[in-house]
Chain A
Amino acid sequence: QVQLQESGPGLVKPSQTLSLTCTVSGGSISSGSYYWSWIRQPAGKGLEWIGRIYTSGSTNYNPSLKSRVTISVDTSKNQFSLKLSSVTAADTAVYYCARDSSGSVFDWGQGTLVTVSS
């Protein structure tokens, strides 16, 4: 069974770049046909899709975040990553990584809280 685990700094200063990594275990990130996604949720609010990278390497980003987001994959480490630049307090949220088959599979990591504060 595939498991996902987010990791990265829990505190980021305003204007800096938020960097998170999702480590995939129990399966290869380069096998199958999956979207490897990032989703966030501010405290007490709804889910917001950030973006995704397909097994082929193609990426899609939320138009509202596109200018600040980069998602990449490191197949040698079985990881994928999120970089969000020029962060503000509005980027404070629980960040989830996920595996999406576009069908019946949508596996989530447990989530990691990132706070933007000086």
Chain B
Amino acid sequence: SYELTQPSSVSVSPGQTARITCSGDVLAKKYARWFQQKPGQAPVLVIYKDSERPSGIPERFSGSSSGTTVTLTISGAQVEDEADYYCYSAADNNVVFGGGTKLTVL
């Protein structure tokens, strides 16, 4: 099996840029996705194929990839972006989630 590692928390002020990283060997050969989860709600896909944004997701959400690390960037973070964020990847008929990062915007 393989693992994806995320920081447990990231904190920014409103309007600043938030960056959340996800690292794992599988990311060098497979795409990552990012999910946003707010308290009491099901997760929502915000990035797929490392950097693609599903319809309806604000442009301030972007993704990038370099080697074994992918990064979710929220440009001009807003209070409503405060949530848990999980990276995800699939390889060899297996799927793994990162441990999650709590983003605080205040």
Contact = CB atoms under 8 A, between A and B. Distances in A.
A106 B33 contact: yes
Contact size range, B: 20 to 34
B42 A109 contact: yes
Interface residues of A, number: 21
Interface stretch (B18-26, B45-53, B58-66): B45-53
A108 B45 CA distance: 10
Contacts of A39: 97
Contacts, number: 49
B100 A60 contact: no
Interface of B: 1, 33, 35, 37, 42-45, 48-49, 52, 54-55, 84, 86, 90, 93-100
30 contacts: A37-B95, A39-B97, A46-B84, A46-B97, A46-B99, A46-B100, A47-B35, A47-B37, A47-B43, A47-B86, A48-B97, A49-B96, A49-B97, A52-B95, A60-B95, A63-B94, A64-B1, A96-B42, A102-B90, A103-B48, A103-B49, A104-B45, A104-B48, A104-B52, A105-B45, A105-B54, A108-B42, A108-B43, A108-B44, A111-B42
